[in-house]
Structure 1
Amino acid sequence: MRVTVPTVDVTAVPEDGLLLDVREHDEWAAGHAEDALHIPMSEFVDRYDEVTEAVGGGRRVHVVCRVGGRSAQVTQYLIGHGFDAVNVDGGMLAWEAAGRPLIADSSDPAHIL
């Protein structure tokens, strides 16, 4: 049985919402949302407590990667552990295309890898 992962459009992610970016370090450094929580999928299980701390009073977790595959897996994991989580449809590529703000960890202009 295939489970459908709930998704939201990038425009539906509130500016003060909890955005969990599960891309790898090089992807993050090239361009990311300013207030996102960065926990690469490869480190997610080891850093799971950071998500619990960030959620606090039951905030919805908006999970994002480059296009949506990795974030869908993490969203499914979080839902299975009782979180209110949704996958951001189209990932950071859609975020960038929608004109949502990006910053980079270098002097180069922010872009999505």
Structure 2
Amino acid sequence: MEARNLPIIFYPSSTPPSRSWSPPLENFVKANFDASFIPHDNRSGTGIIIRNSNGEIMASCVHPNSDILNATFVEALACEQAMLFSCDLGFQRVIVEGDAFNITSKMKNATVDR
């Protein structure tokens, strides 16, 4: 993926997601992502759904991915795809939430991580 300057504000979720979905604040959307990994084929798939504060689905998509290194990479890629998808659709206040708590936690850290 190419690097872009994202003209939107992302708010990574600060807690692991619960079993039930909770709406974002008004004037925000929530981009939920998840990924699956097939290690013997080095392939993965990403699913993204964007909802508004009323719970209405604003957009959704799936991404097939190839040449995947490991499960951690899959979750980081899924998070990036959720951010880029939100940006491409023009959303400006996005809460990004996925089950990869370590990835969204690292997004809040200002230091560079390999």
Please give the TM-score of this superposition, normalised by the length of structure 1. 0.34
> Where is the helix percentage greater, Structure 1 or Structure 2?
1
- For the pair shown, the structure with the greater C-alpha radius of gyration is 2
> Where is the strand percentage greater, Structure 1 or Structure 2?
2
